[in-house]
Amino acid sequence: MEWDSDSEMSGDEEGFLLSDGGPLPISFGSLVQSAPCGFVVTDALEPDHPIIYVNSVFELVTGYKAEEVIGRNCRFLQYRGPFAQRRHPLVDSTVISEIRKCLQEGIPFQGDLLNFRKDGSPLMNRLRLQPIYGDDDVITHIIGTQFFTEANIDLGPLPGSVAKASARTYDRNTSETFYRPVSVGHGTHGTICREFCGILQLSDEVISHKILSRLSPRDIASAGSVCKRFYQLTKTEDLWRMVCQNAWGSETTRVIETVPGAKRLGWVRLARELTTLEAAAWRKLTVGGAVEPFRCNFSACAVGNRLVLFGGEGVNMQPMNDTFVLDLNSSSPEWRHVKVSSPPPGRWGHTVSCLNGSWLVVFGGCGRQGLLNDVFVLDLDAQHPTWREVSVSGPPLPRSWHSSCTLDGTKLVVSGGCADSGVLLSDTFLLDLTMEKPIWREIPATWSPPSRLGHSLSVYDGRKILMFGGLAKSGPLRLRSSDVYTMDLSEEEPCWRCITGSLMPGSGNPSGISPPPRLDHVAVSLPGGRILIFGGSVAGLHSASQLYLLDPTEEKPTWRIMNVPGRPPRFAWGHSTCVVGGTRAIVLGGHTGEEWMLSELHELSLTSYEGEEKNRD
């Protein structure tokens, strides 16, 4: 499916976007080969969810005309041919049960389902169902997006009469154009508007705000192929901003808007580039100032478009407690030492996180007196920034080399690490800093991943966390890991689930080439819930500079290798990174194998405007 762009399209382009001169003719064979998108709307307020609209791709691929299916439930596609009396036995009943469950709970569904054309030939349908809510929070419609591909199943032909009738339907359809509206109104554009208003009886504003804005960026690109009216609606910047906000969260979109150049690029292009990562590129970042004195094992995080560094290990294992800020919105970024009151005790092997838009939260680490489990907060935007220790109940064991992440901008999650005497930990704690008297709460689990240190913890899809890698305990040994575990903290009883690993409950292996086992790497959470893995201490001769991408929201998560142009960091491990402005990952620090580096910064730009800004300069 092609994405819309700011450039003018020509009639030679492939895909489903309409040219300015009208609809593109397309044959049935090329339609199936290019994975066409069917589009179905059902009425959720009526019993059995009757169909109230199908697009031309649905008719073209399935062989069923709109007048044959309007008023029926979509399950007839699970029957082989129009005269079948029951669901075909090869249709996966577990997928059907999952669809029913999602519809009952009013949540989106995505999965692969075996369907059949009218002539009985099989199709694989990558189906996405999105409930649409009305003003009173009642589901009014279900939007179904269908990506059809051929199914490699030989079932033999149906009786000749049905096949011949269906063949006549295909011959007639393939001679028509991609868009074929019903005969209502006068003129092509008027026909389209009359057709949609007659079916959905909704205005452009309602369609945009109540239906299209609830879809994912990829689905919006597909919806634009339904008809000229949807195509025009999906070209508006306001709609794409709403789509990005719903898909990535209001905080991410707010931060993106503050980045210089984002407005010029526009939300349509931003959504495309941050979804496909087609514009991703490495470049070396030159900044002024310096972080002095020299250090390693520090921690850094992003606060909006600012990079903040705290603490670290100085010469002769000296724990440090100073704070540095790099404002990347500045025309000439430079490191600035921030004068703060009441700094925490010096430390290294700690974590620093951003909460509430401008708060820095420091937890744990190793100080002059040993391991720590204290919590300190700093409001970076205060007129006189002052660190304050948070008095909390039920703290976790003191630790270092743990991992942490933040939820909802208010909660700190801490996992694993190394306790006294080198004991590895496997616990997970949550701290809500909005409470008057914050209390650490251990997240109980019937099973936890093996204890580890040097792993990463990332947030995706709202309130889900993902753990990757680290130095994990395996019997009497400690081995580098490439296992992936997830936990949904929105559940009443959260539990760890193993996406990949050996001899673990629920273990499996996502397809694709998985990263080699590692620790002290970095994991970057990208808009849309994907996790980017980079660097670390990697066993063997594997390259630590290779980028790996995983989308844990997929039904079958798949590792992908990202081949990114430009110059990646030349050091291998012990660095720190964070996403700044939602569109770029800044990598600083690290160890070359011979010396620690802090003067070099590298940027992984996820969109093209950073490169455009550089070229202008």
What are the mean pLDDT values of the chain's consecutive 10-residue runs (617 residues total)?
A: 34 32 35 58 89 88 89 91 85 90 91 91 92 84 90 72 44 36 37 39 77 82 75 87 86 79 85 88 87 85 87 90 90 91 94 88 95 95 92 94 90 95 94 92 90 93 91 89 92 88 43 79 84 81 76 85 83 60 73 60 80 47
Residue 230's nearest CA partner among 534, 4, 514, 467 is 4
What gap in Å lies between CA 488 and CA 461, rounded to an integer?
A: 9
pLDDT reported for residue 183: 35
pLDDT reported for residue 388: 94
Q: Would you state the structure tokens that stand for residue 393, as one six-digit string? A: 């109940």
Please answer whether residues 78 and 118 qualify as being in contact, where contact means their C-beta atoms are separated by less than 8 angstroms.
no
pLDDT reported for residue 248: 84
Helix or strand holding residue 101 (H, E): helix 93-105
Could you report how far apart the first and last alpha carbons of the chain are, in Å?
35
pLDDT reported for residue 336: 93
pLDDT reported for residue 216: 82
Beta bridge partners of 353: 361
Q: Which residues have C-beta within 8 Å of that of residue 198, sequence separation ≥ 6? A: 184
pLDDT reported for residue 177: 31
Phi-psi region of 574 (alpha: psi -120 to 50; beta: other; left: phi over 0): left
Whether cis (ω within 30° of 0) applies to the bond prior to 293 is yes
0.75 exceeded by the pTM?
no
Beta bridge partners of 588: 576, 601
Please answer whether residues 513 and 559 qualify as being in contact, where contact means their C-beta atoms are separated by less than 8 angstroms.
yes
Phi-psi region of 187 (alpha: psi -120 to 50; beta: other; left: phi over 0): left
What gap in Å lies between CA 69 and CA 454, rounded to an integer?
A: 56
Classify residue 250 by its DSSP letter.
H
The string over 124-161, giving b where at least 16 C-beta atoms fall within 10 Å of a residue's C-beta and e elsewhere, is bbbbbbbbbeeeeeeebbbbbbbbbeebeeeeeebeee
Q: Which residues have C-beta within 8 Å of that of residue 534, sequence separation ≥ 6? A: 521, 522, 523, 524, 544, 545, 546, 547, 548, 577, 585, 587, 604
Backbone torsions φ then ψ of 450, nearest 5 degrees? -55, 145
Give residue-wise pLDDT tens across range 202-249: 778 878 887 888 888 878 877 777 777 888 888 889 899 988 888 888
Q: Which residues have C-beta within 8 Å of that of residue 271, sequence separation ≥ 6? A: 217, 220, 240, 243, 244
What gap in Å lies between CA 273 and CA 527, rounded to an integer?
A: 11
Residue 358's nearest CA partner among 445, 238, 254 is 254
What gap in Å lies between CA 387 and CA 345, rounded to an integer?
A: 11
Residue 55's nearest CA partner among 236, 229, 217 is 229
Distances (CA, A) of 271 to 5, 221, 245, 305: 10, 10, 10, 19
pLDDT reported for residue 575: 54
pLDDT reported for residue 155: 79
Environment class of 591 (CB within 10 Å of its CB; exposed 0-12, middle 13-18, buried 19+): middle
Residue 610's nearest CA partner among 577, 584, 582, 580 is 584
Query: How confident is the prediction for the chain on average, in pLDDT?
Result: 79
pLDDT reported for residue 320: 94
